[in-house]
Amino acid sequence: MMNRFPLGETGIQVPALSFGAASLGSVYHPVSQDEANAAVEAALGCGLDYFDVAPYYGLTTAEAALGKALSGVRRESYHLATKVGRYGDKDWDFSADATRRSVEASLKRLGVDVIDVIQCHDIECGDRRQLVAECLPALRRLREEGVVRFIGITGYELDVIETVAIAEKVDTVMTYCTYTLQDRRLAPVARRLAAAGIGVLNASPLGMGLLTNRGAPDWHPGNERVIELANAAARLCRAAGGDISDLAMRFALSTAHESDIATTVVGTANAGNVRANAARVGHAPDPQLMKAVEAVLEPVMNAGWDVLPGNGGKAGR
């Protein structure tokens, strides 16, 4: 059975591992609807019943694919989270009109009447005043209308996320690449947010490809030293007969709850990968290999990167 934890004070019990649907939008490689259907079916079969998506992923194609994959599935058997505000690599709009239009379009693509968690997407890169003055009030009105149930924010800059989350009393926060083998800055922030009743979701525990045998993609915003030492850690794992991705997943999944992180969101469009990730829940990483990898990564532990406009917008989740 998949371990489950409360998502803040929403009343939603989320699985330790949740399904990130960005890959369904063919953002990394082409994904057919049959492949999307199989991945979603595998997720539900493994107890991964919290799905996170956004209009930005595949420029609406991820939402459409997820909606088709969930068609016919009992609505009460899963929770659905999507986003507003980001519509392209450098396209943010937190106006009230755009927010309402975005939610209405997402409902149609997803084939549902209600969105469980609606999130303002990558808030540090948009107009903060517009976010507070227009977007969040518009979402609260939609909540009163029964169109959305809970309101959250997402992003990378933890100081921005925490400040806005507390001041605006949002229900959830999702951040990415900040609770991994190489970067654990989310832990103390998550504890403070949880103490305020806010549910915390950790996305991209592999650091957007950083902690994989393939290594960081060309567009990765990490500095050269971070990438160099992550590659060295991957080589160490291979030499020991292990896999850095497996180690990174086991670390994030086995320790997240200690830091009041409700769930870890991982994206894949491959049904086999879904099952493999689910099988890692409840299994801690090898302690000796962890110690060796941490020694390699120590010089860049908790080293982040700039995701503000100017980096091409590639870092956003």
- Catalytic annotation, residues: 57
Alpha-carbon gap, residue 169 to 151, rounded angstroms = 9
**How many other C-beta atoms are found inside a 10 Å radius of the C-beta of residue 76?**
6
- CB-based contacts of 45, cutoff 8 Å, min separation 6: none
First to last CA, the chain: 28
Minimal CA–CA distance to 177: which of 238, 242, 264, 296?
264
162 sits in the region (left: phi over 0; alpha: psi -120 to 50; else beta) called: alpha
202 phi/psi in degrees, rounded to 5: -105, 125
Label the pairing between strands 13-15 and 4-6. antiparallel
- For the CA atoms of 31, 35, 36, 42, the dihedral, rounded to the nearest 10 degrees, stands at -140
User: Per the structure block, which two tokens stand in for 298?
Assistant: 């120590």
What one-character-per-residue DSSP string does 49-106 give?
-EEE--TTTTTTHHHHHHHHHHTTS-GGG-EEEEEESEEETTEE---HHHHHHHHHHH
Would you call 84 helix, strand, or coil by DSSP? strand
127 phi/psi in degrees, rounded to 5: -80, 110
CB 301 within 8 A of CB 182: yes
CB 39 within 8 A of CB 270: yes
Burial of 96 (0-12, 13-18, 19+ CB in 10 A): middle
